[in-house]
Structure 1
Amino acid sequence: MASVDSFQLFYREMSRSCNPYFETLALVGAIYTASRAVILLRECCSLVRVHFLPRIIPNKKKLSQRFGEWAIVYGASEPVAKAYAEELARHGVSIIFVTQSEASVRDIAALLSQSYGVETVVLLADFSLNQAASNTIKEAMKGREIGFLVNCMESLDSPQSLIEMHEQGLLDLVNKNVAVATLMARLVLPGMLERRKGAVVNISSGACCKPLPGRVTLTAFAGYMDHLSRALHLEYSGKGIFVQSLIPFQISEQPPSSSSPSSRLNWFEPQPEVYARHAISTLGVSNRTTGYWPHTLQYGLMRRIPDFMWVLGSRVWISLS
């Protein structure tokens, strides 16, 4: 009995002496919880402002009035770039396709002209021939109000480590996804600055958020496109030019199947047309976004995964694949 009383007395004394520390820790915990709640509320407000308000209350001005009557689209062999070009055409914007293979865009160019009554031009440009391709684009731009530049990063067919890639193939990817994207911005910006309006949209990948196994080049190219966009926006946003970095996650490359309801309701892997419709509503609203609200939820989750857990998960994924 005496030992029990001694313990209770010891406990009371310890509680009395530690009480100020408990109050301090409780205050710190309350402040931390409140700060996280404020951050969550801010991110929810940003999600609504970027992805929902522009669709609920659209801008009364047409895109062609806000930015210009013509768009240059580079990388239209990618499904998401084709869908974005179609969405621009639906808003009355004429399209200049810059490509190295006319066959990859001939059909979509004809379809846009017939469906939306806009002009379309297909330019064959081989950027390995020094300035010959640049001169072709400059000639096509003369007399046209270029209001949009859309650069789309070329996707990779399958995961490959860096040492598995052929040297020439790697150089071609660097040329298309880094050099040409930068050069296209260099070509269109002077005219936009002269008119003090225009939009540059660089479509890369959510892979820029975290390194991915077997996707070294994809992560690097996406990171370059993302940082290029942010740097250009910082430099030219005060001069009437809106530069946007679109960093989507998985976009379906298969047409929806009427026999499979799940393929139509997969919010996290939208059809290119669905993604483009959402993404274009964010133009002029956010300079860096996934362009699609479920992808923004994915992006928010990825940012909160600690690097050591991400690396561990990547290694497990490699071992199982």
Structure 2
Amino acid sequence: MALILQVISSGIYIVGSLSIVAFLYDNLKSLFSIIKAVLEPYFRPNLPKTLVEKFGQWAVVTGATDGIGKEYARELARQGLNLVLISRTKEKLIAVTNEIESQYNVKIKWIVVDFAKGREVYDQIEEELNGIDVGILVNNVGMIHDPETLDKVSEDTLWDLLTVNMGSVTMLTRKILPQMIGRRKGAIVNLGSSSELQPLPNLTAYAASKKFITHFSKGLEYEVADHNIHVQLVMPNFVATNMNAYSDKVRQGGLLFPNAYSYARSAVFTLGKTSETNGFWVHGIQYALMKLAPMQIRTYFGNQLFKRLRIEALEHRQKKQNLY
């Protein structure tokens, strides 16, 4: 009997230990990935040193004229990649192109498309990319609305959000993937969000669209692994960009809210070194702490947070209206 109890006790200990290790890894893997990115070159010195060596000479960045997308483009140019910038505003594309070209000796091509128009834009993109071997695709373009209950968000806004946030990452990847498979080289970076971690009342459709990006990226990672193609899911928390214009506190930045430049420098550093990251060490800690709580608790606090941000957004809109 004593032997049976000892075996049961040992089994419980082993299962418990493995469960704790798995739980901690699952919750802290973004931090582990950043540490891995720092240390890997010391242990594997024969790995390709640059992104150009790893993936190729050209990078495509969508949503490239503001915020994270613009700074991703700048950082990739700093590392020697030629760029194809895709956005909907010609004037902004020209301005960003001139700005980056004045800093770095790279080639830049820009393409004007509005991803909210859906299927029709992808043939144009494919035609304009003809002859360019895309080494890195950064699916950054996305949209958000001010925090609001679903019944008060316009149907046009919802259609645009779903078309841009989910359609762009799926269809542009589908257009570019065959050439990467043919060369057996490339990287696909999908900008998701930490909001995928739980439902977010008052940003219900947005958070759901980011969960789509998580599942899409993880599934694609396994599909293309045999073709030597790297898929990276990037899940930022709040970054001080125009997407968060509804919150003065977020726009002001700070330790918890890095600016787009700092965030992109950190995130690009992990490219080719890890398949999943929050991109910035503070966001990795935030994500880990949130994930420790059960889904119901995370959803409750998310609801409370975005109720307050909804009020802040309403006040922000009222101030703008008063100015005019």
- TM range, smaller chain: 0.7 to 0.9
Determine which structure has more spread, i.e. the larger CA radius of gyration.
1
Flag the 1:231–1:46 CA change in 2: closer, same or farther, 3 A. closer
The aligned length equals 294
Task: Quote how far apart the aligned CAs of 1:278 are.
Answer: 1.4
Task: Quote how far apart the aligned CAs of 1:224 are.
Answer: 1.2
For 1:309 and 1:28, the matched residues in 2 are separated by 31
What residue number does 1:84 align with? 72
Q: Contact 2:118–2:163 at 8 Å: present in 1 too? A: no
Give 1:88-107 correspondences, 5 Å limit: 88-107=76-95
| One-letter amino acid of the counterpart of residue 50, structure 1 | S
Which of 275, 289, 301 is equivalent to 2:277? Answer: 289
Q: Contact 1:110–1:120 at 8 Å: present in 2 too? A: no
What residue number does 1:73 align with? 61
Give 1:226-237 correspondences, 5 Å limit: 226-237=214-225
For 2:154 and 2:27, the matched residues in 1 are separated by 44
Which of 13, 38, 54 is equivalent to 2:37? Answer: 54
Asked if residue 222 in structure 1 is aligned to residue 210 in structure 2, the reply is yes
| One-letter amino acid of the counterpart of residue 253, structure 1 | T
Flag the 1:78–1:204 CA change in 2: closer, same or farther, 3 A. farther
For 2:158 and 2:118, the matched residues in 1 are separated by 19
Flag the 1:65–1:271 CA change in 2: closer, same or farther, 3 A. same
What residue number does 1:38 align with? 21
3-state SS, counterpart of residue 96 of structure 1: strand
Which of 271, 287, 299 is equivalent to 1:299? Answer: 287
Task: Quote how far apart the aligned CAs of 1:225 are.
Answer: 1.4
| One-letter amino acid of the counterpart of residue 184, structure 1 | L
- The worse-fitting range, judged by mean Cα deviation, of 88-97 and 285-294 is 285-294
Q: Over aligned residues, Cα RMSD in angstroms?
A: 3.1
Asked if residue 273 in structure 1 is aligned to residue 261 in structure 2, the reply is yes
For 1:319 and 1:177, the matched residues in 2 are separated by 23
For 1:232 and 1:36, the matched residues in 2 are separated by 27
What residue number does 1:183 align with? 171
What residue number does 1:121 align with? 109
Q: Contact 1:89–1:118 at 8 Å: present in 2 too? A: yes
Task: Quote how far apart the aligned CAs of 1:188 are.
Answer: 0.6
Q: Contact 1:154–1:176 at 8 Å: present in 2 too? A: yes
Task: Quote how far apart the aligned CAs of 1:31 are.
Answer: 5.6
3-state SS, counterpart of residue 195 of structure 2: helix
- The worse-fitting range, judged by mean Cα deviation, of 309-318 and 104-113 is 309-318
Q: TM-score, normalised by structure 1?
A: 0.80
Flag the 1:244–1:317 CA change in 2: closer, same or farther, 3 A. closer
Q: Deviations over 1:203-245 (max 9, x none)?
A: 1211000112211121011111111111111111111111111
Which of 148, 160, 165 is equivalent to 1:160? Answer: 148
Q: Report the identity percentage.
A: 28
Q: Contact 1:206–1:247 at 8 Å: present in 2 too? A: yes
Asked if residue 109 in structure 1 is aligned to residue 93 in structure 2, the reply is no
| One-letter amino acid of the counterpart of residue 277, structure 2 | T
3-state SS, counterpart of residue 249 of structure 1: coil
For 1:318 and 1:181, the matched residues in 2 are separated by 26
Which of 180, 196, 199 is equivalent to 2:187? Answer: 199
Structure 1: gaps spanning 5 or more residues: 1-18, 255-262
- The worse-fitting range, judged by mean Cα deviation, of 198-207 and 69-78 is 69-78
| One-letter amino acid of the counterpart of residue 204, structure 2 | V
Flag the 1:223–1:134 CA change in 2: closer, same or farther, 3 A. same
| One-letter amino acid of the counterpart of residue 64, structure 2 | A
Task: Quote how far apart the aligned CAs of 1:40 are.
Answer: 6.8
3-state SS, counterpart of residue 105 of structure 1: helix
For 1:157 and 1:132, the matched residues in 2 are separated by 24
Flag the 1:319–1:289 CA change in 2: closer, same or farther, 3 A. closer
